[in-house]
Amino acid sequence: MSLLSALTVTFALCLSNALARYVLQDDYFEVDEHGAFFDKFRFWEDEDPTKGFVLYKNYGDCLEAGLISNTTVNVIMRADSHNIAPFGRSSVRIESKKTYDHGLLVIDLDHMPGSICGVWPAFWSYGPSWPNDGEIDIIEGINQFRANRMSLHTGPGCYLKNRTTHFHAYSGEVLYTHCTPSNTSNTGCSIGSFDLTTYGDGFNAIGRGIYATEWTSKHISIWFFPRHSIRKDVNGPLGRTPDPGTWGLPLSRFDLTCDIGMNFKNHSIVFDITFCGGWAGGKQWNTSIPVNSTWPPTHNQRNTSCAAKTGCTCEDWVRDHPEAFEEAYWSVNALRVYQDVKDEW
């Protein structure tokens, strides 16, 4: 190799390393000193904080009931869809044992709980002192929702800034700007997507998608890659050195008036599937939604409300109709956390 060629290669490698922003920190599908996937999570067994009509089960009970399964390439978590449930439907809520203060969280799914009356699934993170340590809702919806709703919850003094420049652009629509639960009846500051492949039945129809959440000291942003547009290069969401700067417009970007580092800390990663509760079983149970959007009043054509569709209360529906929840499951292909190689937060 000539000196010029060697210098060219060296320069290219140095440039690549300089531009490489993230490196892999944790691969939850890798069997390591902490064990396999479910060994890295705690199973929630307490009452549901959202007052859901649900019975969360421990690892042994979930395994015996067929609510969880895992291989080296796929993990499934589901709600019971076989039994009448007089005291609440059996389900899964898990929280990562390891906690995080920032980073890039990437999940590859081929199925999420469908757009089903009574179901309230979420993939999210939160800190030990809620809401003061923050909550990031990455995937969340209820009942017949057709598109994803992304939200943050914080202690006092946090608001979503106005979207004033192209730098703060995202494709979603602002729903609420107050992140403090007491100001918003616990909605948090929220951005909704109008992309009907981002959640529930629409997502499951395309068969696969990736969510990537970037959490820095300056912003929290969420991207969605549907099956047909998943990047497979080294800077893609599951690449060796993912680079959100090359991904284009996120679904949501939360630029806040408060200090993100002070208000979001020590987060565990959470999967859950609950039922009814304060959101899915409250006013929304009796509310119809647009058939091609989750966010009224943009569209006039609307779905029948779950109350009208089922003819009963949310709790009665969930208790007596296990067959309705066959599609209430998560199927995960990858879960990874990356950190900034330059540690510039």
326 as an active site residue: the answer is: no
Cα–Cα nearest to 137, from 176, 171, 98, 166:
176
Position of tokens 């980073």? 103
Of the residues 47, 64, 140, 214, which is catalytic?
A: 140
**Rounded to whole angstroms, how far apart are CA atoms 14 and 241?**
14
Look at the block and give the residue holding tokens 């992304």: 150
Q: Measured at the alpha carbon of residue 83, what is the angle toward residues 80 and 85, in degrees to the nearest 5?
A: 90
How would you write 170-234 as a 3-class SS string?
Answer: CCCEEEECECCHHHHCCCCEEEECCCCCCCHHHHHHHCCEEEEEEECCCCEEEEEEEHHHCCCCC
325 contacts: CB under 8 Å, gap ≥ 6 = 79, 80, 81, 89, 116, 118, 119, 318
Catalytic residue, candidates 33, 95, 135, 173: 135
How remote is the C-alpha of 266 from its chain's centroid? Answer: 17
Residue 47 annotated in active site: no
What is the enclosing helix (H) or strand (E) of 309? helix 306-310
| Active site residues per annotation | 135, 140
